[in-house]
Structure 1
């Protein structure tokens, strides 16, 4: 993996350059980009497309929409990530976008980064937004067995689940959990730990904050075991598809069973390793940049087609 500072510079440089290239160049290449899917698993691509964009009938994109070329740039990573797919379409086509940590379902079909998990979120059309923050994996050379037998977490205690973890275990010998922000009691405050520091531990807790848990993806790319309550929100990562006991270890919202789970996997390391392997496989399924871009284009194409503005590619119909 690239050094994060270098990766950040590269990310902004590449996107600034792309943004300066005339749109007609990308529109002419759209069919070629979609050809990347010819070697992909058709069933999986179709399934992911239907998961991200659950819209099934026509709708109007007039109310509350904006032209693609008028997309706001004030949240630059959201803008760049949206435009990575949107620049393959005419700039006067209209869309609704809602950038940021979105935890509700809009009244009208809208492109978002995050949404509540469930069967009633059809108006929330997911795209791979703010991916520099949410889709960074880690290089973790330390095997699970060689890590410290403790549970680690750092973050802001901005909800009741995080409060429960800190309240119960801030001073527990098997835990290294602490607050690095917010108005938490002094006893809960702990020094900042980098990702590399946290990777020294066998067990890393992931708890949703404003929407999804930012650390979930990098934990699942590591050789540590992810402990997490069942997710309530999802992004392009399809958190709603994660299976407890297969991709992560589910813990209760009140954290009452976390010690029990810790002792279980300490005595069953082969089961811990199996979950870690499944988690890494899941994470790696989002790393093929050509496939991810083509799928992003299909998600937007389906949105534009159902709003009556464009003829859809066959797979997105």
Structure 2
């Protein structure tokens, strides 16, 4: 019954996502005017402006001067990748149609030569040309209710996924038969270890520890794992999205393991010996998730990321936000304090 219920919920969510996106695209752009002054006053009155600008400047590190002009009018963005198109168009509609943008859809693990809006980027190095927006959110920002307290969960680590990189192969090959774990793959083309049955997020919530492993770019399960009552265990991330994986603190938001997972059992034993520490890590992860649950702030942050993009590329004049966008110097690090 649980499986049927989860399938129904997923189908309704998918229908709602696409219906909302299509209806939005059919509405006149004039209904989506971006009133900068009104937004600025609202943010100042609520005291949310500094925190939002910190996030904006983390996602968008562009600095005006010498940047190439983008090539695609925002009313001519490629529609073939429907979820990416709907997510990008949701906020582009607030800006004049003649503005131009460069963008990359898909799992991006390199920094483009021109300032581009995308879903994912490398954490290390100069990634200023990679401007993050909340793209493909239907897949990457799914959260599920976890009613099971940490103490009532099975004292093991769990993972399920496809075998698309060496990290995942190392996890499954080294721990498929471990008494500390229930890890397995669901791929037909990986023959070293037999596949296991798929486990839904709700089924994985039965375990105290859930392993998160990057795939083609980021780990898709990371958001719902950190929103649960289970401890997230993973190697240090190499890529990041709107979720700001680069600001996650090892052994504070998650428990870090080696890339080859050779210390996985050791880390589980340490957590079992110190359940208070485990619950603190869960609480810290839940607080990080909380930043992304305020819909109004998410919308305003997205709009300001684009506003900064258009100002930095010389397409819009200075606004009420310009000083907050560009007051720091190029040498100053992009810091964001999280719980």
TM-score w.r.t. length of structure 1: 0.95
Partners of 1:192 and 1:238 in 2: CA distance: 28
**Counterpart in the other structure of 2:179:** 173
Question: 3-state SS of the aligned residue for 1:187?
Answer: coil
Query: Given the alignment of the two structures, is residue 77 of structure 1 paired with residue 83 of structure 2, yes or no?
Result: yes
Could you tell me which of 195, 198, 203 is aligned with 2:204?
198
CA contact (8 A) 2:156 2:182 kept: yes
Partners of 2:107 and 2:285 in 1: CA distance: 24
- Residue correspondence of structure 1 range 82-161 to structure 2 within 5 A: 82-161=88-167
How many residue pairs match? The answer is 316
Could you tell me which of 265, 271, 274 is aligned with 2:280?
274
Q: Deviations over 1:166-221 (max 9, x none)?
A: 11111112211111015212633101111111111111000000000000000000
Residue 191 and residue 264 in structure 1: after superposition, are their counterparts in 2 closer, same or farther (change >3 A)? same
Q: Deviations over 1:9-38 (max 9, x none)?
A: 111111111111111111265655565534
Could you tell me which of 215, 218, 237 is aligned with 1:212?
218
Unaligned runs of 5+ in 2: 1-5, 327-339
1:3 is displaced (CA, Å) by: 2.4
Partners of 2:187 and 2:51 in 1: CA distance: 40
Partners of 1:32 and 1:5 in 2: CA distance: 37
Unaligned runs of 5+ in 1: none
**Counterpart in the other structure of 1:52:** 59
Partners of 2:41 and 2:141 in 1: CA distance: 24
Question: 3-state SS of the aligned residue for 1:84?
Answer: helix
Could you tell me which of 183, 190, 194 is aligned with 1:188?
194
1:59 is displaced (CA, Å) by: 4.2
Residue 29 and residue 18 in structure 1: after superposition, are their counterparts in 2 closer, same or farther (change >3 A)? farther
**Counterpart in the other structure of 2:49:** 42
Question: 3-state SS of the aligned residue for 1:137?
Answer: coil
Q: Deviations over 1:267-312 (max 9, x none)?
A: 1110000000010010011111111111111111111111111124
CA contact (8 A) 1:61 1:95 kept: no
Question: 3-state SS of the aligned residue for 1:218?
Answer: helix
Q: Which moved more, 1:97-106 or 1:2-11?
A: 2-11
CA contact (8 A) 1:102 1:112 kept: yes
Partners of 2:42 and 2:204 in 1: CA distance: 37
CA contact (8 A) 2:122 2:238 kept: yes
Question: 3-state SS of the aligned residue for 1:202?
Answer: strand
Partners of 1:15 and 1:32 in 2: CA distance: 25
CA RMSD of aligned residues (A): 1.8
Query: Given the alignment of the two structures, is residue 232 of structure 1 paired with residue 238 of structure 2, yes or no?
Result: yes
1:100 is displaced (CA, Å) by: 0.5
Q: Which moved more, 1:31-40 or 1:160-169?
A: 31-40
1:138 is displaced (CA, Å) by: 1.5
